[in-house]
Amino acid sequence: MTEPILRVTDLQKYFGDLHVLKGIDFSVEAGERIAIIGGSGSGKSTFLRCLNFMEMPSGGTIALDGKPIGKPHGRDGARRYPESELCTVRERVGMVFQQFNLFPHMTVLENVMEGLLTVKGMRNAAARERAVRELEKVGLGTKLDAYPGKLSGGQQQRVAIARALAMEPEILLFDEPTSSLDPELVGEVLRVIRQLADEGRTMLLVTHELGFAYHFATKVIFLADGVFHEVGTPDDVLKNPRQERTRAFLERFTEFGF
């Protein structure tokens, strides 16, 4: 058995009194593509965001290459995370957001170069070369000098993917990358993600596009009530769910299907 890149043990997350994640154990191995599905407000985003510390876990540990991140602190299992360590983790675990979060005051090219210059400390020429390569890969080689505000949602999301890819992360997290797009723009973004899958990248994807999840994922997780309710292959979870709860969730999606 190979050592997982990322291992999560007893992950807990509270927002005030609201207990969102209730002890999740989980690991990601190289080359895995994991789709996370679940009802609105079930904690999918929170879970994903804990993995690169956009949210600070309230308890449990997250380990990269077997090494737990942060240091124990206080009684209740919470840990303290020094900024330098989080920056290293985030460099290795990239993220693509639902709202793109591109920097509006920078051109497309500058957006992709930004992390290379400031975080990786690359020289301008090298950063530029890599940024252009990534942008060409997502089909935006002609938009280098445009500002994000002038692009369509689909194009913006592809820039965001190029920006994350340029950092050469070991794991890529996608939080509903197509949810804020017009229907006709969803395809161009999903095609890019599929292309990444074909390259054998390790990815986690929160999505409501069950059809895409079925073809994309090596593993599907149904999250409900703050725990992994059902985990398995796409066929297991999406076609032959064993849990009543999973079945009910999937039925709502097929209600108006054809």
Partner 1 sequence: MSYHWDFSGVWSRWDLLLTGLVNTVKIAGISIVFGVIVGLLLAFMKLSPRRFLSVPATAFIEFYRNTPPIIHFFWFYYALPVLANVSLNPFLAAVLALSTQSGAFYAEVFRGGIVSIEKGQWEGARALGMRHSQLMRRIILPQALTRMFAPFVERSFELTKTTALASTLAYADLLYQAMLVNSETFRPLEVYTTIALMYVILLVTASTLARVAEARLTAYR
Ligand X SMILES: Nc1ncnc2c1ncn2[C@@H]1O[C@H](COP(=O)(O)OP(=O)(O)OP(=O)(O)O)[C@@H](O)[C@H]1O
Q: Which does 114 bind (CB under 5 to 8 A by kind): Mg ion, ligand X, partner 1, none?
A: partner 1
Q: Does position 45 bind partner 1 by CB under 8 A?
A: no
Helix locations, the chain, DSSP H: 44-51, 83-92, 108-118, 124-137, 153-166, 183-198, 210-216, 234, 244-254
CA distances from 231 to 82, 114, 193, 207, 223 (A): 33, 37, 22, 15, 9
CA distance 18 to 21: 9
One of 45, 46, 52, 178 touching partner 1 (CB under 8 A): 52
Interaction residues for partner 1, span 137-166 (CB under 8 A):
147, 149, 160, 163-164
CA distance 145 to 64: 36
Q: Which does 126 bind (CB under 5 to 8 A by kind): Mg ion, ligand X, partner 1, none?
A: none
CA distance 159 to 149: 12
One of 47, 97, 216, 249 touching partner 1 (CB under 8 A): 97
Q: Does position 45 bind Mg ion by CB under 5 A?
A: yes
Judge whether 148 and 103 are in contact, CB under 8 Å.
yes
Question: Considering the complex, what minimum distance in angstroms separates the CB of residue 186 from Mg ion?
Answer: 17
Q: Does position 246 bind Mg ion by CB under 5 A?
A: no
Query: Contact positions toward ligand X, by CB under 6 A?
Result: 15, 18, 20, 38, 40-46
Name the site residues for Mg ion (rule: CB under 5 A): 45
